[in-house]
Each structure stands twice: as C-alpha cells, then as structure tokens.
Structure 1
Amino acid sequence: MDKKDKRYDAYLRILNKELIPAMGCTEPIAIAYCAAVARDTLGTWPDRVEIYVSGNIIKNVKSVIVPNTGNKKGLEAAAAAGIVAGNAARKLEVIAQVSVEQIEQMTRFLDDIPIRVMFADTECPLDIEVILYHGQDSARVHIMQEHTNIVLIEKNGEILVKAEPQNAPGTKGLPEASGQDDYGLLCMEGIFDFAQTVAIEDVQQLLDQQIEYNTAIAREGLARDYGANIGSVLLKAYGSDIRTRAKAAAAAGSDARMDGCELPVVINSGSGNQGMTVSLPVIEYAKETGAGQETLYRALVLSNLAAIHQKFYIGRLSAYCGAVSAGAAAGAGITYLLGGGYSHICHTIVNALAITSGIVCDGAKPSCAAKIAASVDAGILGYEMYRNGQQFYGGDGVLAKGIENTLRNIGRLGKDGMKDTDKEIIRIMSDC
C-alpha cells in the first residue's frame, strides 16, 4: 500500500487509537476514570455518590478484582478507587499509582459514603454516568460508546463539556467523525496489503509496547496463582508444544488480569483480553519459528487490525464474546508468520468464526481465560484446516461467500441478533 493511499494514514490512526495501555479490566477502570473526572469537577470528595450504568457494564464489573484496591470487586469499589486515588489525566491507567494509605482510605470511603448503583435507561451497551454530591454542590460526568469518551461534564447544573454521540453502523457511533471514516476504510484486503507494506518505523514503538506489556503479564499469570490458572492447567495437561504454549500465554494473561494483577496491558477494541489474545499467540509462534522481528511486527499489524475490523460490525460490548474475534485474528497473524497468503488468511478467519461464534459473553471473570484458549485453538485449527485442503463454505450456518460478507453476518449476529440474549444474561447475573 502506497503511503499516498488514504487508507495508510487511516490504518495508522486506528492502531494508535486502539492499541493503548490499560490497567485492569477496562469496564471497572472506565468507572474509576469517570469518577476521577467527576471528583476533579466537584473539587472535593463527595458525601454521596450515584452511578448509572448499562447492563453490559454491570456484567463486566461484577466478578473481577479492581487492581490497586486491596482485592476489592464491584462498581462501588471501582468508583471509590477513582475518587480516592484516581489520576484522571492517565485515563485507562487512572489507578496505576496507588499508595497503601489510599487503599485504606478507599475502605473507609466505602464504609462511610453512600454509593447508589442503578441501571441506566439506555440502548447504548457502554454507558456510564457518575454523579457526585457534596452538600449543595454536584458534579456529573457521562461516558458513552467508548471507555474514555466523555459526552458530558456538568457542575451544579451548568454544562462544562458536551459532545453529541455519533451514529455509525456496527458501533452505535464513534466519537470523532474522522475516526468513523477511518474504520469504514477497513477491509481484509486492505489490511493484508498494509501489513505487508507498512514502514516498520511507523508501527514499531506501538508494537514494542504491546509485546513488552502483554508478554510481562502472561509470564506473571503463569508464575503465580491467579483466577482458575487456565494457562498453567493447559501446560500441565497437554504439554508444551507450540499450539499449547500459544493458548496458555493468552489465557495466563487473562488469568492475571481478571484477578487484579497490577501490570498494564495493551488493549485492542477497548479490551485487554482481546489485546492479549491477538498478540500473545502470534508472539509465541514467532519465537517457535524463528521469525525475524520485522515479520513479527507485520503479523501483529495484521492480527490487530483484523480484530478491530471484526469488532467494528459488532460494537464494543455485546453478548458475543470478543475473544472469538480476537482468536480468529490471532489465527490470521499466525498464518502470516507461517507463510500464508491473503486467501489462506481469509479462510483461516472464516473457519475459526464458524467454530466458535456461538460463545456468549457473560461478563468479565476467570472463565474468560478458558474462552480465550478455545478461541485461539479455533484460530489455529482454522489455519490447519485450510492447509490440509479443508474449509467451511458460504451457506454453512451464518457464513457467506466472501470474507467481508461473513464478517457483516457475524456483526449482525453479535450486535442485533443477540440483543435479547444479552438482556437475559444480565437478568440471570442480577439474580445470582
């Protein structure tokens, strides 16, 4: 792809927007960020707190430990962390630096300050509103569509910041019109061309950070007792061949992240689990095959953008498990490392989606690591199928002829078809 092609700069903007560091599960961190901005707007700690959130936020916050809180869980803990110790300027690393004293203050805050959590009356899957009160003063901050996309800041009824949400197919809108146009330029043919031709210096710093951060948390997940220890279980049960190592690395990163590990990850499509899934299996295969650093960079460009392209149709949060898209994208990156061309990569993705596209998202929790392992396995199997002359065809279930048609069908399934499933999952989780 020539640098004069408008897609070149668009794809770079997308990568720089999506591949950012975050600490902890991004939904509780988004609440902490929203609360920290509200505290700064109020100018003091509140004497009461109200939180309005969409169902998808509730299901993704309920069962994960918020890092740097002394192993606390839940929306109240996330908000308290942001209010007591948050540095709003750091966005998704808002509670990256917390002292022991501040953790003690969080505990006292949760004991002393009433925090009321309510369902938001919204159709947006990612919707967070935090209102803080201190005497007669109040501050209100509203986030929609993306984890740091503030659409409203208000103090004592006076609007300080207001941004109208944009509407776009597949995502219920992206915050900037230029960003919306960028995502519309994504297609697998363009992604493959870009991955082969991008100037390495344009992506090296970004990908070096992804490799460093995500490899570190995977090592941590394998070294210590986190969650259900899916990464360690895989290695103990099935040995240390490359296929198992690829699944175990991604699963171990999720083990650690879901259980409150205080290491950052580089996310993809707003998700740390997806960021680890698209990168760690590819990194493991690069080590196994002795691929050069440039080849690894190009494979990571491919896997990252392939995942983002799929999620454009589905949206940030839904009842469709994001690990499925990421696992298929990892399969594409692995296929590239192993010498596969464009057709081979497309068939790998389609085969993988045919296998695992029924996995539902029932919130962030330890079992995410097992879903990641299954999705990476499907990505690898998708490659092995096509390498051995086998494939699934258009008309098989939700698959269509041509990869772009299949991705649109999967997006329709995840965004529209599973709306009622999502509501039922949230109702079930609310009863537990």
Structure 2
Amino acid sequence: MDKKLLIEVLKKEIEKSTGCTDPGAVTLAVAKATEVLGEKPERIKVAVSSNVYKNGISVGVPGTGQRGLRQAAALGIYLSEWTGEDLGLLDHVNNEIVRASQDLLKEGGVKVSYLKETPDRLYIKAEVFKGDNTAWTVIQGDYSNITETGKNGHTLFNKPVKKTENGVDALIRFNIADIIETIKHLDLEELEFLIEDAKVNKAAAEEGMNNENAVMGSALSSMIKDAPFPYSAMMLGKLYTASAAEARMIGLNVPIMAIAGSGNHGITNFLGVLAAAEILKVSETGLARALAISSAITVFIKGYIKRMTAFCGCSVAAATGVAAATVYMLGGSFEDMVNAMHSVLGALAGIVCDGAKESCAYKLSTATATAIEYAYLSTKKKVFIPRGNGIVSHTIEHTFEKLGQLNNPGMVETDKCLLEIIEEIQSQY
C-alpha cells in the first residue's frame, strides 16, 4: 500500500487526550456550546447515546476528584476558550474551575441523560442556557467530531457524518500482509512520532506507579523479577499498562496518546509494545516499526468493530496489535503474526465492556500480557489456536470482519443489558 496514506491514517487516528475520552467529549461539547452562546450559561442539558453514558458514568474526571458525566459537563462552561485543543482542553482545569463547576452542580444547573435511540452509537448533544438565549453543539461519530452548532433556534454549522479516505475505514481496503510489508520498509524518521507518543503514555504509567491514590502500579512493581522472556515482558507490560490506565481511570491529570478514539487502546497499544521492546532490547527503528504494526492493526480492527463496542476493545483490537508487533520483534514470520493474532481473538473476544473505570486497568493489562505470551507461543513454540476454530476464521481479515458482526448486530442486546445492570448497581450507592 501507499506509505504516505498509511502514515496519514496513523497520525489522524492518534490524538492527545487528558482523561477518559467520553467525559472529555462531553466537556468539549459543552465548551463549544458555551463559545457559541457567547456568555456564561446558567444551565446545562446534555443528552448522550447509551454507549457514551455507559463509558462515562463511573470514570474519574481529571483534576476534580469526582466521577461521571455531570461533573464533566459542568467543567465545559469554564473551558470554552480552549475548544481548539479538542480532547486536550481538560489540561486547563484548575482549582478555581473545579470549585465553580461544583457550585453549579450543587445548584442543580446540570442535567445529563441518555437516549435509547441516536443517529450514531457515539452521540452527544449539549445545550446551554442564559436567560432567553440558548446554544447547542452536537458531537457524533468520533469524540472530537463536532457536526452541528446552533443558537436561538438557528443552525450555524452543520456537516454530515461521513467516511473519509484518510480515516479508520481507509485501511480495511488493503490486506494485512501488504500493510505489514509496507511498514517493514519505513525509515525511523517517518515513524519517530510513534516513539514520542509511547513516551507520553509511559509518563502516565510512571505517575500511576508513584501516585498515592493509585494502587496497581506499586503492587505490580513488587512482582517484577529477573525472568526469561516472555515472563519478563509480560510482567513489565502489565505494570506499564495497568499503572497508566488506573491513573487515567481514577481521574489523575495525565495526558494520554489515544488511538482510534480510545485512550485505553492507546495505553495498551503503545505500552504493550514498548515493554516487549525494552526487554528484547530492540533498536529504535525496530521499536518504531513495531509500534506502527500494532497501531495499524488496532486501527484496522476498529474499522470493522467501530468506536463503540459491547466487548472490550483493548482486548480485541489493541492487544491483537501488540501480539503482531511482538512477533515482529521476535523475528517471526507473517504467518506467526496471524497465528498470534488469532490466538488473542479466540481467547479474549468474549470480554465485555461495562464502561470506563478502574477495572479497565485489570482487563487491558491482562490482555497485554496475554498478547505477549501468545506472540511467543506462536513464534517460538508454534502453538496457537487453529483456523476454523470458533470465531477464528481461515484468514485474518475475515476474522476481523466477523468480529465486527459479533459486536453489531450480535451484541446489541448485550450492551443494553449491561447498561441496565450498571444503572441498577449505581442506584444503590
């Protein structure tokens, strides 16, 4: 495939995010609506799709010590001057903004609800009010994709949600072998941005290891011992990914390089590969290419399963990419990559997504370690889940396609049931 297109897709699908992307997108929507209104609102009303609601109901909001979409929405009216930074606008949260937002919450000025039917599974509509004036913003299809704004009944901006040539769907027009072969011939200079992105996520992991409010990093650090590959890489991968994810999920103010719309995908993708690379002592060029392989696989799979899933996307997309990248660093063949990816999907496809919160750190770190293990088994032991075995099809592309079918329509009812369970449990607290 054309290397320029590949690099463009990767750069487009990787973006900085402070905090979980779902509450971050709600904050962005309210901030943009406030900008359109042109004055500080008195009230906020936000309606989201059930998937956004599920992902945002329990997760920490950076810098606030609080959780959930109401807190995220309340921040938005104080961040309107930073809407150009998209999901990075939460970098500007300070104590004064937090106090003001919590006063608004106490006054009952923020209402958040979810809609059973929406034009897209990723949908947010934020409305803000001041006296007789009102303004709104719609985000749809992707977390920073503003599709509509308006004021006092007049639509000011509107764009259709459509697939783009340089977006996540662009890669699925190619086969995996061609994508991998293209990456193998890319130079360090062309892929160096991926190493920088991995460093950002490693910094988040280090914060998670050292912050007194996070527990997984310190616990896993005590378990790190000298051991042969793959055990050393599996434990280091768990340490890095769990620490960064927990820091993010409890609301520590740490930036993350997200991929395919998910910060936790970005944590799994970048830190899983980085951990294996550090243990294997691969060159910078080798690391850059491995990161490109994992990133491309993650984006490719998301082209089929889309942004919102009923199963854990870190397990089925990002971890699958980590498996392929680890095979590459072990010197394995393309066939070994396919076998490792099939093993990950055959084993982990059933892990459900029950929203963003601390348990994500447990899930994605387990998936990361499993991906590294299966890469080793496939490459060095020739042990893997055979083709034609359950969801594992006869080609990797067809397996990815069937994974998309499993998500939608296959698990649509599962997703509804998950939300009902989450709401019931939350109502008891």
TM superposition score normalised by structure 1: 0.92
Instruction: Tell me what 1:400 maps to.
Output: 393
Is residue 2:54 matched to residue 1:39?
no
| CA distance in structure 2 between the partners assigned to 1:226 and 1:348 by the alignment | 36
2:69 to 60, 67, 75: 75
Instruction: Tell me what 1:144 maps to.
Output: 140
Q: How many residues align?
A: 416
The Cα offsets for residues 351-402 of structure 1, whole Å up to 9 and x where unpaired, read as: 1111111100000000001101221122123213322122212221111101
| CA distance in structure 2 between the partners assigned to 1:40 and 1:313 by the alignment | 35
The offset of 1:262, in angstroms, is: 0.9
| CA distance in structure 2 between the partners assigned to 1:351 and 1:179 by the alignment | 27
Is residue 2:157 matched to residue 1:161?
yes
1:130 is paired with a residue of what secondary structure? Answer: strand
2:167 to 170, 179, 190: 179
Is residue 2:222 matched to residue 1:236?
yes
Do the aligned residues in 2 keep the contact of 1:355 with 1:378 (CA within 8 Å)? no
Instruction: Tell me what 1:171 maps to.
Output: none
Task: Please provide the CA RMSD for this pair.
Answer: 1.7
The offset of 1:164, in angstroms, is: 1.3
Is residue 2:75 matched to residue 1:84?
no
| CA distance in structure 2 between the partners assigned to 1:14 and 1:416 by the alignment | 27
Do the aligned residues in 2 keep the contact of 1:42 with 1:138 (CA within 8 Å)? yes
Do the aligned residues in 1 keep the contact of 2:45 with 2:112 (CA within 8 Å)? yes
Cα pair distance change 1:358/1:332, threshold 3 Å: same
| CA distance in structure 1 between the partners assigned to 2:397 and 2:59 by the alignment | 35
Letter in 2 for 1:202: E
Is residue 2:263 matched to residue 1:267?
no
Do the aligned residues in 2 keep the contact of 1:315 with 1:415 (CA within 8 Å)? no
Instruction: Tell me what 2:366 maps to.
Output: 374
Structure 2 stretches lacking a partner, 5+ long: 227-231
The Cα offsets for residues 307-341 of structure 1, whole Å up to 9 and x where unpaired, read as: 11111100101111011121121111111111112
1:14 is paired with a residue of what secondary structure? Answer: helix
Letter in 2 for 1:183: L
Instruction: Tell me what 1:118 maps to.
Output: 113
> Map of 1:187-266 to 2, 5 A cutoff?
187-204=175-192, 206-227=193-214, 229-237=215-223, 239=225, 241-266=232-257
Instruction: Tell me what 1:352 maps to.
Output: 344
Cα pair distance change 1:385/1:286, threshold 3 Å: closer
Which range is displaced more, 350-359 or 391-400? 391-400
Letter in 2 for 1:230: M
Letter in 2 for 1:332: A
2:413 to 380, 400, 420: 420
Do the aligned residues in 2 keep the contact of 1:49 with 1:113 (CA within 8 Å)? no
Instruction: Tell me what 1:51 maps to.
Output: 46
Cα pair distance change 1:238/1:358, threshold 3 Å: farther
Do the aligned residues in 1 keep the contact of 2:13 with 2:167 (CA within 8 Å)? no
Do the aligned residues in 1 keep the contact of 2:273 with 2:290 (CA within 8 Å)? yes
Do the aligned residues in 1 keep the contact of 2:21 with 2:263 (CA within 8 Å)? yes
| CA distance in structure 1 between the partners assigned to 2:224 and 2:50 by the alignment | 37
Cα pair distance change 1:180/1:252, threshold 3 Å: closer
Letter in 2 for 1:55: S
Cα pair distance change 1:232/1:54, threshold 3 Å: same
| CA distance in structure 2 between the partners assigned to 1:379 and 1:179 by the alignment | 26
Instruction: Tell me what 1:364 maps to.
Output: 356
| CA distance in structure 2 between the partners assigned to 1:340 and 1:220 by the alignment | 34
Which range is displaced more, 359-368 or 39-48? 39-48
Cα pair distance change 1:181/1:218, threshold 3 Å: closer
Instruction: Tell me what 2:61 maps to.
Output: 66
Letter in 1 for 2:136: R
> Map of 1:319-338 to 2, 5 A cutoff?
319-324=310-315, 325-338=317-330
Letter in 1 for 2:237: A
The offset of 1:239, in angstroms, is: 4.0
1:96 is paired with a residue of what secondary structure? Answer: helix
Identical aligned pairs, as a percentage? 29
Letter in 1 for 2:34: R
The Cα offsets for residues 269-319 of structure 1, whole Å up to 9 and x where unpaired, read as: 111111010111211222222211111000000011111111110010111
| CA distance in structure 1 between the partners assigned to 2:353 and 2:168 by the alignment | 25
Instruction: Tell me what 2:229 maps to.
Output: none
| CA distance in structure 1 between the partners assigned to 2:177 and 2:385 by the alignment | 20
Do the aligned residues in 2 keep the contact of 1:352 with 1:381 (CA within 8 Å)? no
2:78 is paired with a residue of what secondary structure? Answer: helix
TM superposition score normalised by structure 2: 0.93
The Cα offsets for residues 156-198 of structure 1, whole Å up to 9 and x where unpaired, read as: 11111111122xxxxxxx3x35536623334311221122012
Which range is displaced more, 26-35 or 122-131? 122-131
Structure 1 stretches lacking a partner, 5+ long: 167-173
1:361 is paired with a residue of what secondary structure? Answer: coil
| CA distance in structure 1 between the partners assigned to 2:99 and 2:79 by the alignment | 11
Cα pair distance change 1:200/1:186, threshold 3 Å: farther
